[in-house]
Structure 1
């Protein structure tokens, strides 16, 4: 039996979500694998469990736990895991986390520090993005926050000739760009959190061509419900990574026409949103000779972004944003991977 097989067999027998130490102990008790050549056998099991997730192995899923740890289970047992039980665990964790200071050790970080990661990912896909601060709006009604997206973005249609672009503008200027709204969350662990965040994204993106819910951590046990909500309401899902260039669109958003009444309302109450719309209008109505200058002007107005992984990693360390499985990655050097294939 390979160590991968031993891990799967152990999870099969344990049935309920288990951490890497539980899996390691089961392997040892049953003598499924001889660890004589491994310097840190428990860490080896932890690293390989992480590999199942990174390699998108359909057999294994995980649940985030307090302190950045995870419990693992087999996908076929997913229906037996109680959402209520997960909510209870998360309530305890959230209460504990609220009493801790903001340090790199407990991995607490500000949600808005994720904006630069998202802007970097969007820039790499040809989208200009801008943070919209709801507290800067003229309206003092707290309920108006549900009309504000966290970030907005625009992608311009890239035609190869100025002639074809001018022709498209003459027919329909709306066809030359797409506006997107983004709702950003640090983590979504429970069914309740998912529905609350999802319908906030629905409300905040009602005016845009596309709406996305962006999250740094999304519990795998929620994916069936995420897919159902995506199909029903058209909101897409982006999973954000500490390396922004490895972020991914998990589910694409569905296109809809712009709602100019809501756009007008947002322009009235939020000057930053109004400035963004002004920049877009200048860009799409300008003559070709001004496009280069306006492109630079729009880029300077929009959010900054990273151009390298080194920059983003340093930023994440500064902002206490956990790097994606850094410990597990380092542990891979403790054993000879060729033995497990």
Structure 2
């Protein structure tokens, strides 16, 4: 019997709801479970001049076919969803987009018995991972901003969408000669870029615009603003992010929670030439963490040196 790959993939994912698999992992299971059908598939492929003389070549072909069938598969079976970024992962869920967001943001509501080896990740777990990525890959000094440390003098909702989760400083003068540093310091030219990051666990169609404009709001003071997520579900979600980014300049980082070094800057942010110091003044006046961040920047401009121990650098 010929192998119906699409139906096989759907059945495999449906038997393991909520678990995420790469196309390669699915293909390995298909070959192991249906060796006879796969050999027949290999013979038919030879007839069409596709060189499939090795197990690895067969595996690569099935991986490619899973990827090519993805749009049609998702249209026919809306329960099949995929994450974006590398590598794309496939999973089966009966949850709506909004339910997925609710479960991601309130991990204790997730049925952990069904996934004992995958302990639900919390948003605060992502902060040190993002700091690790920013330092190791982009050489950005980062600092956590806890909005709970704000004075909230403006009443309920007064600080909503005001503070980013992390802020960062990029030392543009790290490789400069000491004479050049001293000259620039006297010249009062810019030798840093200030960064702002809003962190989420999951972004999909139900929350993409809300979290994007939250990032726009709380990153308006910085040279560069980024939305960060450990998972982004669906090509349409990424397309929406790209459209919004082209209008508002916010970038997007897909943070790999398992291996931060494999994280991706999927959409670069547009740089603002100047910091909005008026907004920064409000943030500093009402939040101790942000005030500490501004003090570190001032100290850098005064001394020309950065003390790594002052920052959230791993």
* 1:141 to partner: Cα distance: 3.1
Q: Does 1:118 align with 2:118?
A: no
Q: Which has the higher helix share?
A: 1
Q: For residues 76 and 234 of structure 1, do their structure 2 counterparts lie closer, same or farther at Cα, with a shift above 3 Å needed?
A: farther
Q: Does 1:267 align with 2:281?
A: no
Q: Which residue of 1 aligns with 2:261?
A: 245
Q: For residues 79 and 265 of structure 1, do their structure 2 counterparts lie closer, same or farther at Cα, with a shift above 3 Å needed?
A: farther
Q: Which residue of 2 aligns with 1:151?
A: 166
Q: Which residue of 1 aligns with 2:44?
A: none
SS at match of 1:192: coil
Q: Does 1:301 align with 2:310?
A: yes
Give the Cα–Cα distance (whole angstroms) in 1 for the partners of residues 130 and 102 of structure 2: 28
SS at match of 1:211: strand
SS at match of 2:160: helix
- Between 202-211 and 154-163, report the one with greater CA deviation: 154-163
Q: Which residue of 1 aligns with 2:209?
A: 195
SS at match of 1:191: coil
Q: For residues 227 and 78 of structure 1, do their structure 2 counterparts lie closer, same or farther at Cα, with a shift above 3 Å needed?
A: farther
Do the aligned residues in 2 keep the contact of 1:58 with 1:75 (CA within 8 Å)?
no
Do the aligned residues in 1 keep the contact of 2:112 with 2:119 (CA within 8 Å)?
no
Give the Cα–Cα distance (whole angstroms) in 2 for the partners of residues 240 and 192 of structure 1: 20
Q: Which residue of 2 aligns with 1:18?
A: 10
Q: For residues 104 and 183 of structure 1, do their structure 2 counterparts lie closer, same or farther at Cα, with a shift above 3 Å needed?
A: farther
Give the Cα–Cα distance (whole angstroms) in 2 for the partners of residues 20 and 265 of structure 1: 53
Residue 193 of structure 2 is aligned with which of 178, 184, 187?
A: 178
Q: Which residue of 1 aligns with 2:270?
A: 254
Give the Cα–Cα distance (whole angstroms) in 2 for the partners of residues 186 and 245 of structure 1: 17
- Consecutive unaligned residues of structure 1, counting only runs of 5 or more, are 1-5, 36-43, 62-72, 306-341
* 1:163 to partner: Cα distance: 1.8
Q: Which residue of 2 aligns with 1:211?
A: 225
What pairs up with 1:308-323 in 2 under 5 angstroms? none
- Render the CA deviation track for 1:307-332: whole Å, top value 9, x for unaligned: xxxxxxxxxxxxxxxxxxxxxxxxxx
Q: Does 1:100 align with 2:111?
A: yes
Residue 182 of structure 2 is aligned with which of 166, 190, 208?
A: 166
Give the Cα–Cα distance (whole angstroms) in 1 for the partners of residues 247 and 75 of structure 2: 22
SS at match of 1:249: strand
Do the aligned residues in 2 keep the contact of 1:210 with 1:235 (CA within 8 Å)?
yes
Give the Cα–Cα distance (whole angstroms) in 2 for the partners of residues 74 and 285 of structure 1: 55
Give the Cα–Cα distance (whole angstroms) in 2 for the partners of residues 265 and 128 of structure 1: 22
Give the Cα–Cα distance (whole angstroms) in 2 for the partners of residues 244 and 302 of structure 1: 18
In the superposition, the TM-score normalised over structure 2's length comes to 0.69
Give the Cα–Cα distance (whole angstroms) in 2 for the partners of residues 304 and 127 of structure 1: 9
Residue 89 of structure 1 is aligned with which of 96, 100, 103?
A: 96
* 1:150 to partner: Cα distance: 0.2
Give the Cα–Cα distance (whole angstroms) in 2 for the partners of residues 179 and 87 of structure 1: 41
Q: For residues 212 and 104 of structure 1, do their structure 2 counterparts lie closer, same or farther at Cα, with a shift above 3 Å needed?
A: farther
Q: Which residue of 1 aligns with 2:47?
A: none
Residue 109 of structure 1 is aligned with which of 121, 136, 151?
A: 121
- Between 274-283 and 156-165, report the one with greater CA deviation: 156-165
SS at match of 1:153: strand
Q: Which residue of 1 aligns with 2:142?
A: 129
Count the aligned residue pairs.
259
In the superposition, the TM-score normalised over structure 1's length comes to 0.64
Give the Cα–Cα distance (whole angstroms) in 1 for the partners of residues 12 and 240 of structure 2: 27
* 1:217 to partner: Cα distance: 0.7
* 1:76 to partner: Cα distance: 6.7
* 1:181 to partner: Cα distance: 0.4
* 1:171 to partner: Cα distance: 3.0
Do the aligned residues in 2 keep the contact of 1:129 with 1:303 (CA within 8 Å)?
yes
Larger RCO of the pair (alpha carbons < 8 Å, separation 6+): 1
